């Protein structure tokens, strides 16, 4: 999928608020946040914070309204019981009524303010996700190219390593046989005179299938003959 199509593909998808998501935050332990990511994260946090504060404000106003309504009920009862205090109590009732009206207006204002916030939050969250996808799509793409290059290098090295191991074994076999022939022909004293630095015990080659050791010499099996 092309990166430019991320936004279209994500429309209507249920995604978490990324700036509040611990897994999203952990992503950026792998790669530092860009300035664009930081800007979108700050914008998203501001919108979410505004939404939360507005919700709390509505709850506080509704609690006040409920309290005022309860007090009006008591005041009306008091007005019926105390005719002499009726005017004073009615003034208090009018004041409470005014405050309740103000509460209703403030609640309406907050609710109007809340109407556009979910959409703004969602759109900013989508932008943040797309920007995140762009960053880590590139990282995965770059890593994949490097993985392919390393894999190709490893394959070549593996072939070269195998060739070098075979070559090393052949040279060890040649050294062993040359030393063995010279040792058998000239004897150990002459060998010591030339100070040949070769330890047949340490460098003894592995006898492979199809080969045998005869009189200290490694030979092919089909060439073997008794003296």
Single pTM value for the model: 0.63
Burial of 28 (0-12, 13-18, 19+ CB in 10 A): middle
Domain boundaries, the chain: 16-152, 164-223
Q: For residues 14 and 111, what is the distance between their CA atoms, to the nearest angstrom?
A: 23
What confidence score (pLDDT) does residue 97 get? 92
Q: What is the mean pLDDT of residues 20-30?
A: 93
**Of 164, 169, 167, whose CA–CA distance to 203 is shortest?**
169
Q: Give me the pLDDT at residue 188, please.
A: 76
163 against 80, higher pLDDT: 163
Tens digit of each residue's pLDDT (9 = 90 or more) over 30-63 = 889 999 999 999 999 999 999 999 999 999 999 9
> What is the tens place of the pLDDT at every residue in 88-143?
878 888 899 999 999 999 999 999 989 989 999 999 999 999 999 999 999 999 99
Q: How confident is the model at residue 5 (pLDDT cuts 50, 70, 90)?
A: low
Tens digit of each residue's pLDDT (9 = 90 or more) over 194-215: 655 555 555 555 555 555 555 5
């Amino acid at each position: 999928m092309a990166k430019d199509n991320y936004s279209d593909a994500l429309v209507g998808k249920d995604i978490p608020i990324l700036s509040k998501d611990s897994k999203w935050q952990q992503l950026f332990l792998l790669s530092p946040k860009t300035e664009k990511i930081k800007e979108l994260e700050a914008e998203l946090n501001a919108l979410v914070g505004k939404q939360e504060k507005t919700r709390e404000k509505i709850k506080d106003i509704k609690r006040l309204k409920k309290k005022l309504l309860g007090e009006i009920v008591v005041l009306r009862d008091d007005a019926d019981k105390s005719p002499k205090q009726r005017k004073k109590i009615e003034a208090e009732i009018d004041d409470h009524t005014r405050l309740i009206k103000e509460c209703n207006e403030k609640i309406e204002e907050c609710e109007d303010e809340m109407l556009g916030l979910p959409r703004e939050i969602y759109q900013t969250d989508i932008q943040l996700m797309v920007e995140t996808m762009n960053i880590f799509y590139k990282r995965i793409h770059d890593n994949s190219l490097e993985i392919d290059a390393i894999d190709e290098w490893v394959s070549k090295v593996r072939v070269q390593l195998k060739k070098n191991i075979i070559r090393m074994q052949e040279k060890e076999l040649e050294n062993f046989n040359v030393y063995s022939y010279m040792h058998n022909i000239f004897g150990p004293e002459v060998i010591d005179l030339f100070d040949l630095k070769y330890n047949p015990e340490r460098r003894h080659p592995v006898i492979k299938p199809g080969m045998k050791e005869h009189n200290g010499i490694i030979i092919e099996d089909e060439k073997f003959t008794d003296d």
